């Protein structure tokens, strides 16, 4: 941690996840965290304008992206979300 000589060299950590084969019809499940004042307003406007966007993106509104917490991110992954989109 301090880069001092007595800190034993850390062994290369094994990869946490082994890559898996992707099924042909697979669509990633994306969760978007959007700020109430900008990105979420944009998504809202898209709805008002009847614009369509990919159905595999689900949006959660935050009062501010500053409200984002490690636990939201990790909980999403634990529940099988494939990717996160944070917009604010």
Partner 1 sequence: MSAKTPSRLEKILRAGHLAVTSECGPPRGSDPKEIVHKAEMIKNHVDAINITDNQTSVCRLCSLASCIHLKQLGLEPVLQMVTRDRNRIALQSDILGAASWDIHNILCLSGDHQSFGDSPQGQNVHDLDSLQLLQTVRKMRDEGKFLGGDDIKRPPAMFVGAAANPFADPFEIRVPRLAKKVKAGAEFIQTQCIYNLEKFELWMRQLVDRGLHEQVYILAGLTPMKSAGMARYMKNRVPGMDVPDAVVKRLADTPKDKQAEEGIKICIESIQRLKEVKGVAGFHIMAIEWEEKVPGIVEAAGLYPRPSV
Partner 2 sequence: MIVGEQKPIEELWESIKGHQKVLVFGCNTCVAVCQQGGNKEAEILASLLRMKATQEGVEMEIQDSGIERQCEHEFFEKAEGRIQWADAVLSTACGIGVQFMAEKYAKPVYPGLNTTFLGAVEKLGHYVERCQACGQCILAATGGICPIARCAKRLLNGPCGGSTKGHCEINKDVPCAWQLIVDRLQQLNLMERYEDLAPIKNWSTDRAGGPRKLVREDVQL
Helices (H), 11-50: 39-48
HSE at residue 53, side-chain half, CA atoms within 13 A, is 14
Handedness of CA 21, 26, 27, 31 (dihedral sign): negative
Return the structure tokens found at 37.
């004042």
Q: Which of 9, 14, 23, 55 binds partner 2 (CB under 8 A)?
A: 14
Selected range binding partner 1 among 4-12, 27-35, 55-63, 69-77, rule: CB under 8 A: 4-12
Distance of closest approach, residue 19 Cβ to partner 2, in angstroms:
12
Binding to partner 2 (CB under 8 A) within 48-87 occurs at 70-71, 74-75, 77-78
The residues that touch partner 1, with contacts defined as CB under 8 A, are 5-6, 8
């Amino acid at each position: 941690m301090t880069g001092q000589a007595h800190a034993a060299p850390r062994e290369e950590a094994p990869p946490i996840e082994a890559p898996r084969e992707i099924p042909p019809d697979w669509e990633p499940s994306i969760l978007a965290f959007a700020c109430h004042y900008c990105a979420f307003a944009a998504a809202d406007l898209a709805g008002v304008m009847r614009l369509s966007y990919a159905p595999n993106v689900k949006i959660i509104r935050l009062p501010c992206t500053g409200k984002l917490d490690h636990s939201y991110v990790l909980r999403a992954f634990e529940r099988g979300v494939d990717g996160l989109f944070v917009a604010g």
